[in-house]
Amino acid sequence: MISPFTGGEVSLLTEPRSFEFRGSKFDIIHHHYRCDDTGETFTDTPLDELNLNQVYNQYREKEGIPFQDEIISYRKQYQIPATKFSQVLGFGVNMYGKYETGEIPNLSNGLLIRICKDPEVFRNYFITSLAHRLNKEDRESTIRKIEKAIENRRSEISIEFEKFAAIGHTERGMLTGYVAPNLEKSRQMVVYFAKTCNPVVTKMNKLLFYADFLNYRRTGAAISGMSYMAIANGPVPQRYMGLVENVSDIVDVIEEYYPNDITGNRLSTNNEFDASLFTAEELKSMEKVAERFKTTSTKTIVDISHDEAAWIDNHEHRQLIPYSYAFQLKAL
């Protein structure tokens, strides 16, 4: 980044600020640049998005308004096109379309969309409050699709249990980096670091932590949505042993001993990493972590993680680590 005022050097600065959005105030870590020559401050599009995402994430969490990907997933479970779903809910087509592309619904619309999350709850609400808006054919078709979603949801209970066993905390918020916990992305992150760094489990846990928290610092969102806790050997995924067990079909665990280092099971894989699951920014964060720590010993990365406020403030009681600590990372 160069200064738009002089073409010279700039410094990236952060400071606590409060922003008001829809009648509520939210505290964020504001990011901006300062021209080293003139002292004038400015932002660019990525920093504006990072600053605003911190506000919008807290607002959605506070008011219980679904996130963009949740809104899309709620509709898709019923296999109803967006144009038809907007009619079912009583929204304008353009209005609902904006919600699926990121615009934040007003409170009443957001809460109505939230009802759609649970097919059984939605069925009851549809019959009592929404069905009269549709003609008989559309009404019966919608009810059939809701009933089908209820059947599918019941069969997914075991899948949800598997996800919890592998990655723990599943409610989106500051403990998940404001993204929905995603088991398949978590699995593929393990594949990526197994291929690039060939680490033992203890080091893998730190690589995952740094990748998720670095991406949150850069974009305002984690990669995997995993929650991390502070234990003796540094930050680790909340269900780190469950995660290792879950990836046993795609990652090999090799017991090895390392003189003068932390002994553990080394993770390696011959499977190809599926980059299609990740955004360009997520891949960039993972690449930065791999580049920084590829040749770092396990003992050294543990020591490095012990210098992070995320660990210092939370390890005594093995607490979960809020992603707000990402803005205090020292190692990256």
274-290 confidence digits (pLDDT tens)? 999 999 999 999 999 99
HSE-up (13 A, CA, CB side) for residue 183: 19
Q: What is the pLDDT of residue 318?
A: 95
Q: What is the pLDDT of residue 93?
A: 86
Name the nearest CA neighbour of 167 among 185, 143, 142, 149.
Answer: 185
Q: What is the pLDDT of residue 56?
A: 97
Check if the beta carbon of residue 312 is closer than 8 Å to that of residue 306: yes
Burial of 307 (0-12, 13-18, 19+ CB in 10 A): exposed
Q: What is the pLDDT of residue 185?
A: 95
Q: What is the pLDDT of residue 263?
A: 67
* Model pTM score: 0.87
- Residue 265 backbone phi and psi in degrees, to 5: -90, 120
The CA distance from 114 to 174, in Å, is 19
Q: What is the pLDDT of residue 194?
A: 96
The CA distance from 236 to 249, in Å, is 21
Q: What is the pLDDT of residue 259?
A: 62
Q: What is the pLDDT of residue 189?
A: 97
Q: What is the pLDDT of residue 253?
A: 86
The CA distance from 20 to 42, in Å, is 20
Sign of the dihedral through C-alpha 284, 285, 286, 292: positive
CA distances from residue 76 to 4, 85, 119, 148, 224 in whole angstroms, order as listed: 44, 10, 12, 12, 21
Check if the beta carbon of residue 59 is closer than 8 Å to that of residue 21: yes
Rounded to a whole number of angstroms, the CA Rg of the chain reads 23
Q: What is the pLDDT of residue 254?
A: 84
Which token pair is 81?
């096109």
The amino acid at residue 317 is H
Query: Which residue numbers in the chain have pLDDT < 70?
Result: 157-162, 169-170, 256-260, 263
- Residue 240 backbone phi and psi in degrees, to 5: -60, -35
Q: What is the pLDDT of residue 158?
A: 62
- Residue length of the chain: 332
SS3 call for 124: helix
